[in-house]
Structure 1
Amino acid sequence: MLHKPKFLAFIVFALLLGNSYPNFAQTAPKQFIYGDLLPDAPELAARGEYAVGVQTLDLINKDQLDILNYGKGGDSLYNRPLKVEIWYPAEAMEGANEIISYDEVMGQNGSPTRPIIPFTFLGRATRAAKPKLDGEPFPLVIVSHGYTGSRYLMTYLTENLASKGYVVVAIDHTESTFRDAGGFQSTLLNRSLDDLFVLNEMARLSEDQTSFLNGLVDADNTALIGYSMGGYGAVNVAGAGYSPQAAQLFGTMAGGSKALLKRSVGNPEYEASIDPRIKVIVAFAPLGMQRGVWNAEGLAGIKIPSLFIAGSKDDISGYEDGIKAIYDGAINSDRILLTYENARHNVAPNPAPMESMAQGRHLDEYLRYADSVWDSRRMNNINQHFVTAFLGKYLKGESSYQKYLEVDADPEAKEWPGFKPRTTVGLKLEHQSPKN
C-alpha cells in the first residue's frame, strides 16, 4: 500500500511532468503513416506548407552498355528503362484524398528463399494532383535507392521535401530493385549514369509544354540524395572519380572494367561529366570505401557541400574505414557528418512493413528496413530535420537554417536547436570546412 504523502508527491510530480511536456499528453493518435511525427520529433521534421502531388513516369535511356550480357553474343547495347516517381508541390484541392496507397514488394528477384511478395503501404500525397506554379520553379531533388531497393524506399523523406517546395524524383534503378535484381556489375556501372540521365530528363521535361513538369522544375539547382549504393553513385557524381582499383570489381570482364574507368579519377571524359547543376549531395551510408572504390585524389574532387549520414556500427559500408573515411577524405567539400551511435546500415529507409514480420517470413525482409537499436520512425524524423536544414541552407540559400547545423559535437554539452530537451542522446554531428 502506498504511503499517502509519497502518493501525493507522485501525483504532483506527474502533473508537473505533464505541464512541462504538453505535446506528450494528447488524445489517442491517428493512424501512423511513414513520415508522420513522433512526439519527440525535431522541429524541421514537420511537413511544409504545400500539398503534395505524385506521378509515375517511364523513361528510356537509349543505347546503354548491356553489361550483364556483355560478351554473350549479339548487341552489347540496350535501351535501358527507368521508372521514376515524382513528388511535387500541388494545388490544395478541397475534398482531395491526401492518403495514398503505394504498391511495393518485398523479397529478392531470383531468390528461392525470398520470393517476391506484393504489399501496400500508405503515404500522404494525391495522385496526379495539379502542380502548384508559384511563378518560380522549384529546386530538384533526385533520390537513389540501395541494392536492392525501389523508388518507394524513402517516401517519408520524398513526400516531406515536396511539401517544402522541392520537386523530388526517385528512381527505380533497373537490375537493382527488389523486382528485377540482376548481377551487381549493373549497379556498379549504371548508378551514376542513371542519376545524370534523370537530371537531363527532368531538365528536358521542365521545358516540355505537354508535361506536368513544365515550368515546375529548376534543374539548374539540384540535390542528389543516395542511400548505400545510391550513396556510392552520389559520391561519384559529386566529383569523386573511382580509383584505378575499382575497375577490378568487374574481375576479368574487360568491357565492364573499361566502362568503369570512364568514371575514374583523372579520366578527361569523367572530369567533363561533373555537372554544375548538382549543387549538393546527401549520402546515406555510402558504400565502396572499404573495397577501394575511392582514393585520396578522387575524394578531393568533391567540391560541393555534402551531408553524410551513418550508423557507427555499419557492417555493410563500414564506419571508421568506410563512411567516415569518405567524409574525412572529401577535403575540398564543406561537409557534415551525422552519426547514429550504435546503428548499423539501415539509417535511411522507411520503417519495416508489417508484412515483413509475418510468421515464417525470411528475417532479411525485416532487416532490410529495421535497425536493432534505433526506432526507424525516429531516425526518419531526424533525417527529415537535418536534410531540410541542409537543403534549405545550401540549395535554397536561406540563412535561417544555419543554426540547425551549428551544434556541439557532444550531445551532452548543450541542447541542439530544434530538438526537444533530452532527445539528442545517441547523435553526433560533425562539420569540416573545405581545405581550399
Structure 2
Amino acid sequence: MDKFTAIDRITPYAPELALQQGCSIGVRATMLTLEDQPDVQTGAAAGATRQLPLEIWYPAAPDTPQGGTYDTLLRCGERRAILRGRACRDAPAATGITAPLIVISHGYPGNRFLMVHLAESLARQGYVVAACDHTGSTYDNQSDFGITLLHRPLDQRGVVDGMAAMNGDLGALVDCSSVGVIGYSMGGYGALITGGAGLTTAAVDFSRAPPARLLARHMAGSDTHEASMDPRIKAIMPIGPWGNLYGMWDATGLAGLRVPTLIMAGTADHVSDYEAMRGIFEGATGVERHLLSFAQAGHNAAAPYPAAPESYAVSDTLGWAPFEHYADPVWDTVVMNNIAQHYAAAFFGVHLNGNTGMRAYLGDDFKGFKDGTTAGLRMESLQAI
C-alpha cells in the first residue's frame, strides 16, 4: 500500500488558531484494562473486564523529528488505509511542563483514529490527548448497541483514571486534574453523561438498551449517577451528539449538565437530528454553552478525518462506499476539520488552561477567521441561568 491520506492539512481558509504550529508531538499505543465492569451479555452489574486499545498524543521533546503514519481499519471492517500526520511514534515526552488531558471518544462504529486530526492539533497546542477503541463499538467488532449505551461514559472515565495512573515520562507530563472530553455521535452521548446530563426512565427502557436495567446507573438523580461525577472533568465538546431525538434526556437531565459545553452540529444531520441537538444546547440551563452550526452539513460535520482513497469503492459488505462514513456532500472535510481545531483550541484554552484571552474566539463575530470564510457557520452562546 503506497497511498497516504494526510490528516494534518491546513487550507488557506483555516482560521487563526488552526494555523498555530505549536510544539513537537509524539504518539504511543498501549492497552487499557478496566476491571469490575458491567456485562451486557449476562446482565451482571459488575465483575467483567474490558480491554481498550489506547492511543496517546503528547508534547514531545523539542528536538523530536516530526512525521509518522497510522495504519487504520476503514468503516467496512475489511479495507485498511495509511494516514500520515506529524506525531513521532514513541518519542520522548516533553519535560519541565505539565499538560491538561483531553479524552477523544468515537462514534458507533468508529475507532481511536477517527478524529486523529483533532488529537494531533491539540497535542501541538500543549495537551495530552487520549483516544481509545471502544470495544464492542468498532469497525471490526460492532456488537450489541446496548454495550455502547452503557459503556461509553464508563470508558471515558476509565481513560481518565488510566492516564492518572500512568508512570514514566507521560505520567510526569499529564495533568489529570484538568480534563476535557470530545465525543462524536455516541461519543457525544457519552460526553454529555460524563458531564452530568443523566438519562431518563425512557432511556433505561429503550428498545436497544442493555438488559436488567443496567442503564439505570446513568439515570438522572440516581445515587450511581451522582457518585460517578468526576470533578476533574472541566469541559466537554460533543460533536453531532446522539440521543436527544430518542428521549435519552428530559429537562431535568439536561439541566444536570455541570461543565461548560461546546456542541458542533450539522443542520442536515439526519442521524442525531439538528433540532434535537439544539434542544440539548437550549436545555442545558445550568452551564455556559455554545452551539456551532454548519449549514446543510450532515452527521459527518467536523469530526472524521478526510476520507482515504481506499474508502471510495463500494463495499460488498456494506452495500455502499465507506467514503460516506467520513465525507459530507456539501462541506469540504479539511475546511471543517480546521474550523473544529480552531474552536477546540479556544474552548479548551479557556476552560482547561484558564486563558481568558481565548474567550474572544468564542463569540459570534468569528474572531480569527479571514473575510468571506464564515458563510454557512453560525455560533451561538448561552449562559447559565
1:34-61 deviation per Cα after TM superposition (whole angstroms, max 9, x unaligned): 1321011111112442100000010111
Whole-Å Cα distance in 1 between the matches of residues 268 and 24 of structure 2? 37
In the alignment, which of 132, 157, 169 is matched to residue 94 of structure 2?
132
- SS of equivalent to 2:55: strand
In the alignment, which of 14, 24, 36 is matched to residue 51 of structure 1?
24
In 2, are the aligned partners of 1:67 and 1:76 still within 8 Å (CA)?
A: no
Distance change >3 Å, CA 179–CA 115, structure 1 → 2: closer
In 1, are the aligned partners of 2:26 and 2:60 still within 8 Å (CA)?
A: yes
Whole-Å Cα distance in 2 between the matches of residues 218 and 393 of structure 1? 16
Which residue in 1 is equivalent to 2:262? 307
In 2, are the aligned partners of 1:145 and 1:227 still within 8 Å (CA)?
A: yes
Q: Which runs of 5+ in 1 are unaligned?
A: 1-30, 108-113, 409-415
In 2, are the aligned partners of 1:341 and 1:427 still within 8 Å (CA)?
A: yes
Distance change >3 Å, CA 359–CA 225, structure 1 → 2: closer
Give the paired residue count.
379
Whole-Å Cα distance in 2 between the matches of residues 188 and 253 of structure 1? 8
In 2, are the aligned partners of 1:145 and 1:229 still within 8 Å (CA)?
A: yes
Which residue in 1 is equivalent to 2:63? 93
In the alignment, which of 268, 288, 292 is matched to residue 338 of structure 1?
292
Whole-Å Cα distance in 1 between the matches of residues 50 and 158 of structure 2? 11
In the alignment, which of 301, 322, 326 is matched to residue 365 of structure 1?
322
In 1, are the aligned partners of 2:195 and 2:259 still within 8 Å (CA)?
A: yes
Which residue in 1 is equivalent to 2:180? 223
Which residue in 2 is equivalent to 1:84? 54
Whole-Å Cα distance in 1 between the matches of residues 218 and 272 of structure 2? 21
Distance change >3 Å, CA 64–CA 385, structure 1 → 2: same
Q: Shift of the alpha carbon at 1:65?
A: 1.9
Whole-Å Cα distance in 2 between the matches of residues 167 and 279 of structure 1? 15
Q: Shift of the alpha carbon at 1:252?
A: 8.6
Whole-Å Cα distance in 2 between the matches of residues 364 and 76 of structure 1? 39
Distance change >3 Å, CA 252–CA 370, structure 1 → 2: closer
Identity, % of aligned pairs? Answer: 40
In the alignment, which of 191, 197, 206 is matched to residue 249 of structure 1?
206
In 1, are the aligned partners of 2:185 and 2:240 still within 8 Å (CA)?
A: yes
Whole-Å Cα distance in 2 between the matches of residues 295 and 252 of structure 1? 17
How high is the TM-score relative to the length of structure 1? 0.84
For CA contacts below 8 A with separation 6 or more, give which structure has more relative contact order: 2
Distance change >3 Å, CA 294–CA 130, structure 1 → 2: same
Which residue in 2 is equivalent to 1:192? 153
In 2, are the aligned partners of 1:35 and 1:157 still within 8 Å (CA)?
A: no
Whole-Å Cα distance in 1 between the matches of residues 308 and 218 of structure 2? 37
- 1:203-222 alignment, distance < 5 Å: 203-205=164-166, 208=167, 211-222=168-179
In 1, are the aligned partners of 2:26 and 2:91 still within 8 Å (CA)?
A: yes
In 1, are the aligned partners of 2:146 and 2:208 still within 8 Å (CA)?
A: no
Q: Which has the larger radius of gyration?
A: 1
In 1, are the aligned partners of 2:136 and 2:147 still within 8 Å (CA)?
A: yes
In the alignment, which of 306, 326, 330 is matched to residue 351 of structure 1?
306
* Counterpart code for 2:19: A
Which residue in 1 is equivalent to 2:361? 404
1:111-134 deviation per Cα after TM superposition (whole angstroms, max 9, x unaligned): xxx452122111111001110013
**Farther off after superposition, 274-283 or 46-55:** 46-55
In 1, are the aligned partners of 2:364 and 2:378 still within 8 Å (CA)?
A: no
Whole-Å Cα distance in 1 between the matches of residues 189 and 314 of structure 2? 34
Whole-Å Cα distance in 1 between the matches of residues 221 and 349 of structure 2? 33
In the alignment, which of 184, 190, 194 is matched to residue 237 of structure 1?
194
Distance change >3 Å, CA 252–CA 373, structure 1 → 2: closer
Which residue in 2 is equivalent to 1:395? 352
- SS of equivalent to 2:14: coil
- SS of equivalent to 2:268: coil
Which residue in 2 is equivalent to 1:118? 80
Which residue in 2 is equivalent to 1:62? 35
1:243-272 deviation per Cα after TM superposition (whole angstroms, max 9, x unaligned): 1110112569642x2x21111001012112
Whole-Å Cα distance in 1 between the matches of residues 297 and 179 of structure 2? 29
Distance change >3 Å, CA 264–CA 101, structure 1 → 2: same
* Counterpart code for 1:351: P
Query: Does residue 41 in structure 1 map to residue 9 in structure 2?
Result: no
In 2, are the aligned partners of 1:104 and 1:118 still within 8 Å (CA)?
A: yes
- SS of equivalent to 2:50: strand
Q: Which runs of 5+ in 2 are unaligned?
A: none
Q: Shift of the alpha carbon at 1:69?
A: 4.3
* Counterpart code for 2:91: A
Whole-Å Cα distance in 1 between the matches of residues 129 and 35 of structure 2? 23
Distance change >3 Å, CA 252–CA 141, structure 1 → 2: closer
* Counterpart code for 2:336: M
Whole-Å Cα distance in 1 between the matches of residues 299 and 344 of structure 2? 18
- 1:104-183 alignment, distance < 5 Å: 104-107=72-75, 114=76, 116-134=78-96, 136-183=97-144
Whole-Å Cα distance in 2 between the matches of residues 102 and 87 of structure 1? 12
* Counterpart code for 2:51: P
- SS of equivalent to 2:25: strand
Whole-Å Cα distance in 2 between the matches of residues 291 and 186 of structure 1? 17
* Counterpart code for 2:201: P
Distance change >3 Å, CA 32–CA 115, structure 1 → 2: closer
* Counterpart code for 1:105: L
Distance change >3 Å, CA 325–CA 360, structure 1 → 2: closer
